[in-house]
Amino acid sequence: MGAPQAVTVERMDQYSLLLAVGGAVILGATAVPLLLLGRPISFPMVYVALGMVVFALPLGLPTADPIAHVAFVERISELAVIVALMGAGLKLDRIVGWRPWRLTWRLLAVAMPITIVASGVIGWWLVGLAPAAAMLFAAVVAPTDPVLASDVQVGPPGEADEDDVRFALTSEAGLNDGLAFPFTNAAIAAVGTAGVGGWIGGWLLDDVVLKLTVGVVVGLVVGRAVAWLVFNIPSERKLAESSEGFVALAATLLTYGATELVHGYGFLAVFVAACTIRRQERDHTYHEVLHAWAESTERLLSAVLLVLVGGAIVDGVLSGLGWRGALSGLLILLVVRPLAGFVSLARTGTPPGERTAIAFFGVRGIGSIYYLSHALNEADFTHAATMWAVVTFVVLVSVVLHGITAFPVMRRLDDWRVSDGTPAAGDTPGPKAPTRGGKGDD
């Protein structure tokens, strides 16, 4: 009878340890960003390092190997991304249009395809991936990240910092996470096929045309419905006059779940819904409440994921990297993305310094982790361990490189705008002094 009791006590101790570590991680997610204000070090850098330290200690924690827990990694990264997409859409003040979003359209239509093609070639030629795996690798590393890029994104709704650089990086990250899905699905469809004839037609109709259309339509419909519920439902006390910001989380889950049920891209729908909600009653301070809730939830989830990334590094996820994998990751971050971004913004009238900043800050992160885990759950790809090693390396380098440079570069750009007299809010500025209950322009 002694052995079962010992096992029970051991399990209780591990459970208590996980609670303690989880509490510390969550508490730090609130305090660390405040401590790092004005410093060339980012929240993701601290939490990846924390994960490495925690998992290196002899605490008896479960392994953080993403291959062994790929289903869990897919779900928690999926949740982190959709919450981040809601937060990104809620803080964009510019009304969607061709001219106000011209930099975004350029980045999506030019920079992203160039990045996908170049990354696929690198994965096949340099890393030695099979064609389908190289296609997946390209789709995984192409999108920029809405989760880890807060240092180079716009601030909360209504703040006067929506310059072209911050706006372009925020809106790009909000949309290209959804647009990476067709390419990921193409890689999944290509597994085990000898050519493209057997799946290319169905892929174009289903994964490109149908699912993108459904994502946009459901995002618009749910966004308008939530906005009406919040701002217009007849009652003695409107929901928008409360502090119940968990509506942002509810809208995120509702939009994503409904879109996936009707065969659309939930990532795209969530961002579209967030932009639609933001367009209603644009001057109302409840937008700040919604964004604050989304940001807090995003930070909590990203803290957990970043600790696990650090743990995965300690547990050997980089063991299959090799010099070819490391070189490929550096090429994608330091050559492919900057060149693709710079080319995409040609003839836009954007000053060279701002073009360089937008091109350089192609932050990679949780979105890449999600797409890789999702694809590996859907199909049997060769070189899975190699892809995990290279993608984790890309995320790690991005966290460090962009985390160190974000604050000084953005401050330098802000100082230049002040000295040059350039407006910070681009072509279509949003509200600068939000007041409760004001009417919007929709």
- DSSP class of residue 207? I
Q: How far apart are CA 424 and CA 165, in angstroms?
A: 9
Domains and CATH numbers, the chain: 54-420 (1.20.1530.20)
Q: Is 200 exposed, middle or buried (0-12, 13-18, 19+ CB in 10 A)?
A: middle
- How far from 262 is each of 79, 102, 206, 219, 256, CA to CA, in Å? 19, 30, 12, 12, 10
pTM, full prediction:
0.89
- DSSP class of residue 147? S
Please state, as a whole number, how many other Cβ atoms lie within 10 Å of the Cβ of residue 364: 27
Give tens-digit pLDDT for 407-425.
899 989 888 877 766 554 4
Give tens-digit pLDDT for 339-398.
999 999 999 999 999 999 999 999 999 999 999 999 999 999 999 999 999 999 999 999
Q: Using pLDDT thresholds of 50, 70 and 90, give the confidence band for residue 172.
A: very high
Rg value, the chain, Cα:
22
Six-digit token string for 236: 């003695």
Give tens-digit pLDDT for 243-296.
677 889 999 999 999 999 999 999 999 999 999 999 988 888 888 889 888 998
Q: How far apart are CA 290 and CA 276, in angstroms?
A: 13
**Which region among 9-13, 96-100, 312-316, 375-379 has the lowest average model confidence (pLDDT)?**
9-13
DSSP line for 34-74: HHTTTSS--HHHHHHHHHHHHHHSSS-PPP--TTTTHHHHH
Max CA-CA distance within the chain?
79
Six-digit token string for 403: 């985390």
